[in-house]
Chain A
Amino acid sequence: EAGVAQSPRYKIIEKRQSVAFWCNPISGHATLYWYQQILGQGPKLLIQFQNNGVVDDSQLPKDRFSAERLKGVDSTLKIQPAKLEDSAVYLCASAQGAGGSTDTQYFGPGTRLTVL
């Protein structure tokens, strides 16, 4: 089966600019996650969707980050305005069920963001 797709793969912007990332999960997967992975660290959950509803966005910096999954399939993550500390790899993952303990998360290739 096709994996999780993300674009773009790389993005370089200047601070205070805006940027958007796109994710297409594995077909039929109900749950979608966005993670931020800073160099040398493990992925940190930003937001979790189940279909088109938000399950957990407690670690999303809502003053500058936003995400949506309007039709319960593709998702976009936006940063506006970007700060230097937003430089990281943004990983999208999906899981088949409702995100319960038996659901394996499959990761996309990530988008590497550099903020200058």
Chain B
Amino acid sequence: GENVEQHPSTLSVQEGDSAVIKCTYSDSASNYFPWYKQELGKRPQLIIDIRSNVGEKKDQRIAVTLNKTAKHFSLHITETQPEDSAVYFCAAKSFQKLVFGTGTRLLVSP
């Protein structure tokens, strides 16, 4: 089955810096890659997603890139703000099943 690895587990940045979170997946049949943000005690919320026929997608300060050959995808957050502090999960979907990474705790210091 699919296996998703996510790095780093913790990321501390200063406000205004960029943050990058990387994920790799194992199943070449995976074709959908969402990113979720989870604040403490709250539900995971979809922030951006990318499908396998697209290499890059951007939404304001957030962008996701996908390299199908290397089976890795990344989340890029520019001009980070304290409210970006949360745990971010990547996921890969294969045959209707969504498999999540282990999460990255992002801390943005003012």
Which A residues lie at the B interface, using CB under 8 A? 4, 33, 40-45, 48, 55-56, 91, 98-102, 104-110
Contacts and interface: CB of A to CB of B under 8 A. Distances in A.
A110 B43 contact: yes
Interface of B: 4, 6, 31-32, 34, 36, 42-46, 49, 51, 89, 91, 93, 96-103
B97 A44 contact: no
Given A106-B46, A107-B44, A42 B93 contact: no
B74 to A, nearest CB: 17
B7 to A, nearest CB: 13
A100 B52 CA distance: 13
Contacts, number: 53
B contact face: mostly helix, strand, loop, or mixed: strand
A contact face: mostly helix, strand, loop, or mixed: loop
Given A40-B103, A106-B46, A107-B43, A101 B89 contact: no
A105 B100 contact: no
Given A104-B46, A107-B44, A109-B43, A41 B103 contact: yes
B100 A43 contact: yes
Contacts of B36: 107
Given A100-B96, A106-B46, 13 more contacts: A40-B103, A41-B102, A42-B103, A43-B89, A45-B97, A55-B96, A99-B96, A101-B96, A104-B34, A105-B98, A107-B44, A107-B45, A109-B43
